[in-house]
């Protein structure tokens, strides 16, 4: 089913219903059963973190997930293009795309945490843009000018196979701009408040238009911390670790935040412990005010979550990436929470038009 979405002052255009991905963790033990359950629950894709000092290597889990599923899209959210060279990423993800029958999804970002944990400064937006351009060039099987050397992947492109889509995750205007111009789609990591998400969508579409592209065809999604249930205290505990990550990533883009929210972000970043990145009991997680947590994340009963998510989809989102409980939460609790989200919330998001999207 299609929905209609207005883009700025342009007429409404037909858009497909949003794809919905679950962001999880690359834990190979039990991965086959986990991936099969995610596919059975109706998610469109399963994406894994890629932070080498904090979790096992992502590609082992991806191959286990490929073998256990038949339609689920599989990939990263996110990898970086510094510790993993663009040619290495292109070759690796294109191989996964080949063996999975075209189901690979590569989510890339600047790689703040993964790089800081090996003592490497994350790239500037300008450097990241160059890395992103190289990745796309390698994936197309074209030649990259590597300081005067003509570098290309000889076995790409493969006949009868699509190019792996590149999804650029970003919270600031420069990375979103680069993703809109060079990536295949953009995922905004700006929290769950409608004005922030709308800003990210417009920033991306304006960048695509300024580059001579069609803003109406640009896929823009949102990365959201989502926990569903009726026990508010328990939901807050599940969400705090991942919420602190998202809050930390706002530290350089605070211009559109209120003074209170800037203070909250500053407290998180000031106490940020990289080795407790995304943990429920991390010091930075405990500093998040309850009101910030509930605005910045989507937390509540199924009806509450559905209403908030439908409003965000109505802004023109093409896809959603959900992350729930922190990585230190017992995996049975985390998977039960993800299953509840899939069964109680996802069905209502599949048909936003019938569910009450005021813009259709």
For all residues of the chain together, what is the average pLDDT?
88
Partners of 109 in the β-ladder: 80
Percentage of the chain lying above the pLDDT 90 cut: 69
Confidence of residue 39 (pLDDT cuts 50, 70, 90): very high
Could you tell me if 222 and 216 are in contact, meaning their C-beta atoms sit under 8 angstroms apart?
no
The pLDDT value given to residue 251: 67
Structure confidence by residue, pLDDT tens digits, 40-86: 999 999 999 999 998 999 999 999 999 999 999 999 999 999 999 99
Confidence of residue 330 (pLDDT cuts 50, 70, 90): confident
Give the integer Cα–Cα distance in Å for 202 and 207: 8
Which own/partner contact pairs does 144-152 have at CB distance under 8 Å and 24+ positions apart?
Answer: 144/86, 144/87, 151/87
Percentage of the chain lying above the pLDDT 70 cut: 81
Confidence of residue 260 (pLDDT cuts 50, 70, 90): low
Q: Which residues, in sequence order, are CB contacts of 311 under 8 Å at separation 6+?
A: 194
The pLDDT value given to residue 291: 81
Residue 340: strand, helix, or coil = helix
Q: How far is CA 348 from the centre of its chain?
A: 21
Could you tell me if 170 and 176 are in contact, meaning their C-beta atoms sit under 8 angstroms apart?
yes
Lowest mean pLDDT among 159-173, 264-278, 292-306: 264-278
Structure confidence by residue, pLDDT tens digits, 76-121: 999 999 999 999 999 999 999 999 999 999 999 999 889 999 999 9
Closest CA to 236 of 186, 190, 283, 280: 280
Biggest alpha carbon distance in the chain?
60
What is the mean predicted confidence (pLDDT) over 303-307?
97
Cis peptide before 78 (omega within 30 of 0): yes
Give the integer Cα–Cα distance in Å for 25 and 78: 11
Residue 71: strand, helix, or coil = coil
The pLDDT value given to residue 254: 61
CA angle 71, 76, 80 (to 5 degrees): 155
Q: Check pLDDT > 70 for residue 232.
A: yes
pLDDT higher for 250 or 242? 242
Give the integer Cα–Cα distance in Å for 194 and 297: 11
Under DSSP, the state recorded for 89 is H
Q: Check pLDDT > 50 for residue 357.
A: no
What is the mean predicted confidence (pLDDT) over 191-212?
95
Which spans in the chain are helix H?
31-40, 58-68, 86-99, 112-116, 125-139, 173-182, 194-210, 232-248, 259-270, 283-286, 290-296, 302-313, 331-344, 346-349, 352-355
The pLDDT value given to residue 353: 41
Could you tell me if 151 and 143 are in contact, meaning their C-beta atoms sit under 8 angstroms apart?
yes
Give the integer Cα–Cα distance in Å for 37 and 331: 13
The pLDDT value given to residue 243: 80
Could you tell me if 330 and 30 are in contact, meaning their C-beta atoms sit under 8 angstroms apart?
no
Q: What is the DSSP string of 160-206?
A: T-PPPPEEEEESSHHHHHHHHHHSSEEEE-S-S-HHHHHHHHHHHHH
Give the integer Cα–Cα distance in Å for 316 and 7: 8
Q: Check pLDDT > 50 for residue 273.
A: yes
Could you tell me if 194 and 315 are in contact, meaning their C-beta atoms sit under 8 angstroms apart?
yes
Q: Cα–Cα distances in Å, from 61 out to 52, 95, 163, 169?
A: 13, 14, 22, 21
Q: Position of tokens 């010091």?
A: 283
Axis crossing angle, helix 125-139 with helix 173-182, rounded to the nearest 10: 20
The pLDDT value given to residue 1: 47
């Amino acid at each position: 089913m299609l929905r209609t979405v207005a883009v700025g002052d342009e007429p409404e255009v037909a858009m497909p219903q949003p794809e919905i991905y679950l962001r999880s963790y690359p834990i190979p033990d039990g991965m086959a059963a986990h991936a099969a359950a995610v596919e059975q629950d109706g998610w469109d894709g399963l994406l894994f973190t890629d932070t080498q000092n904090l979790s096992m290597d992502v590609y082992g889990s991806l191959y286990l997930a490929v073998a256990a599923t038949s339609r689920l899209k599989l990939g990263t959210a996110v990898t970086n293009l510094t510790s993993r060279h663009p040619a290495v990423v292109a070759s690796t993800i294109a191989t996964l795309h080949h063996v999975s029958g075209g189901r690979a999804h590569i989510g890339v970002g600047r790689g703040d945490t993964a790089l800081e944990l090996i003592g490497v400064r994350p790239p500037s937006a300008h450097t990241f843009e160059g890395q992103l351009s190289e990745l796309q060039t390698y994936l197309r099987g074209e030649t990259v000018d590597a300081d005067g050397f003509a570098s290309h992947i000889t076995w790409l492109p493969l006949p009868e196979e699509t190019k792996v889509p590149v999804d650029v995750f970003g919270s600031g205007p420069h990375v979103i701009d680069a993703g809109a111009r060079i990536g295949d789609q953009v995922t905004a990591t700006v929290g769950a408040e409608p004005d922030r998400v709308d800003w990210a969508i417009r920033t991306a579409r304006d960048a695509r238009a300024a580059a001579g592209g069609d803003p109406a065809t640009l896929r823009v999604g949102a990365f959201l911390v989502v926990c569903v249930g009726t026990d508010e205290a328990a939901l807050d505990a599940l969400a705090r670790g991942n919420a602190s990550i998202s809050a930390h990533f706002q530290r350089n883009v605070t211009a559109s935040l209120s003074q209170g929210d800037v203070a909250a972000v500053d407290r998180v970043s000031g106490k940020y412990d990289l080795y407790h990145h995304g943990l429920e009991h991390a010091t930075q997680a405990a500093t998040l005010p309850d009101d910030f947590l509930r605005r910045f994340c989507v937390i509540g009963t199924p009806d509450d979550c559905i209403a908030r998510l439908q409003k965000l989809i109505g802004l023109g989102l093409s896809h959603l990436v959900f992350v729930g409980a922190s990585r230190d939460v017992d995996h049975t609790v985390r998977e039960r929470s993800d299953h509840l989200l899939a069964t109680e919330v996802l069905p209502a998001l599949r048909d936003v038009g019938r569910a009450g999207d005021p813009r259709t």
